Amino acid sequence: MIASTTNILLTRATLVAATVAALAGCATTTKPGVVGVQRQQLMLVSADTVERMALVSYARQNQDAQQAGRLVTKGPELERLKRIAARLQGQVGTFRDDAAKWNWQLSLIDAPVQNATCAPGGKITFYTGLVRQLKLTDDEIAIVMGHEIAHALREHGRERVSQAYAQNALTSTALAAAPNSAAQIQAANTVAHYLYALPNSRQNESEADAMGLELAARAGYKPDAAVAVWRKMQAQDKGRQPAEFTSTHPSHSTRITDLTAMLPKVQPLYQPVAQAGTGTKKR
């Protein structure tokens, strides 16, 4: 009976400790903007830890692409993406002040892959297949890139890593692995699984859609391009296996409906910028 009572007390103490830790780790990482994204997130793992792991994966990705002769280091396609990225990055202060000081980087990989990502800390990756096969306009690229940047601003990756940590799927020992060690590379690969491989929740996707749309509008890109780009993806995916970029996302019809409903909120943000002569080029 004493042992049983002791076990109950220990279990309660563990639950209390876990609850306290969870509450202590709850925070909102961004300002709401006009789209009103505001939600408490579980953040048990530090931003520095997640960014360090993401940087390892980003560097290995680029190294592998370079060795395969697929890393684009110059040319009009890369310059086009850099111009769009620069305009979007100029608006990140809308959601968080510190993001303007991130070490933003952009990589373009020449591969028939329809995908794009933005790792924690502002490490953007685009694949030529996404731009070429969908014949994306500047406005449409801005929508896709804004969506990926929003994931980084909102720290959805850190949130998912924290959830894995809370479930004991990741250990503090692995996350504290010394830089440039084999253990860190292994840990970074594990973290990458939570950053890229697993599908985002519908909530995370909705937040990234809303914030990305606002970023694009503030940067002078047409908000209705959001609907256009998803209609392109919808048309392409009919009767086919969805592209990698769309396979982990909500249905096209749901997304189109939601984005259409958001347009009135962000349209006023676009108009003054467009009238100032910084609208996007027609393509």
- Of 150 and 15, more confident: 150
- Give the ranges where 97-201 is alpha helix by DSSP (H): 128-133, 138-153, 156-166, 172-175, 182-192
- Express the helix, strand and coil content of the chain in percent, nearest 5 each: 65, 5, 30
Residue 19: is its pLDDT beyond 60? no
pLDDT computed for residue 22 by the predictor: 42
Residues forming beta bridges with residue 118, ordered by sequence position: 124
Please check whether residue 89 lies inside any domain of the structure: yes
Of 31-35, 37-41, 164-168, the least confident:
164-168
pLDDT computed for residue 188 by the predictor: 62
Average pLDDT for 135-150: 97
Quick one: tokens of 179?
Answer: 């830089």
Residue 13: is its pLDDT beyond 60? no
Please check whether residue 6 lies inside any domain of the structure: no
Please check whether residue 107 lies inside any domain of the structure: yes
Residue 74: is its pLDDT beyond 70? yes
Quick one: tokens of 127?
Answer: 């694949």
pLDDT computed for residue 18 by the predictor: 41
Q: Angle, nearest 10°, between helix axes 225-237 and 202-218? A: 130
Please check whether residue 283 lies inside any domain of the structure: no
Domain count, the chain: 1
DSSP state string for 133-148: HTT--HHHHHHHHHHH
pLDDT-based confidence at residue 243 (cuts at 50, 70, 90): low
Return d(Cα 250, Cα 256) in angstroms, integer. Answer: 10
Please check whether residue 213 lies inside any domain of the structure: yes
pLDDT-based confidence at residue 63 (cuts at 50, 70, 90): very high
pLDDT computed for residue 281 by the predictor: 41
Torsion of CA 8, 11, 13, 17, to 10 degrees: -170
pLDDT computed for residue 197 by the predictor: 56
Please check whether residue 8 lies inside any domain of the structure: no
72 phi and psi, to 5 degrees? -80, 120
Picking from 54, 61, 64, the residue whose alpha carbon sits closest to that of residue 191 is 54
Average pLDDT for 130-142: 97
Picking from 228, 233, 234, 226, the residue whose alpha carbon sits closest to that of residue 210 is 226
Average pLDDT for 133-137: 96
The model's pTM: 0.80
Please check whether residue 1 lies inside any domain of the structure: no
Q: 178-208, pLDDT tens digit by residue?
A: 555 566 566 666 666 666 655 667 888 899 9
Mean pLDDT taken over the chain: 81
Domain that holds residue 93: 25-274
Q: What whole-number percentage of the chain has pLDDT above 90?
A: 54
Please check whether residue 261 lies inside any domain of the structure: yes
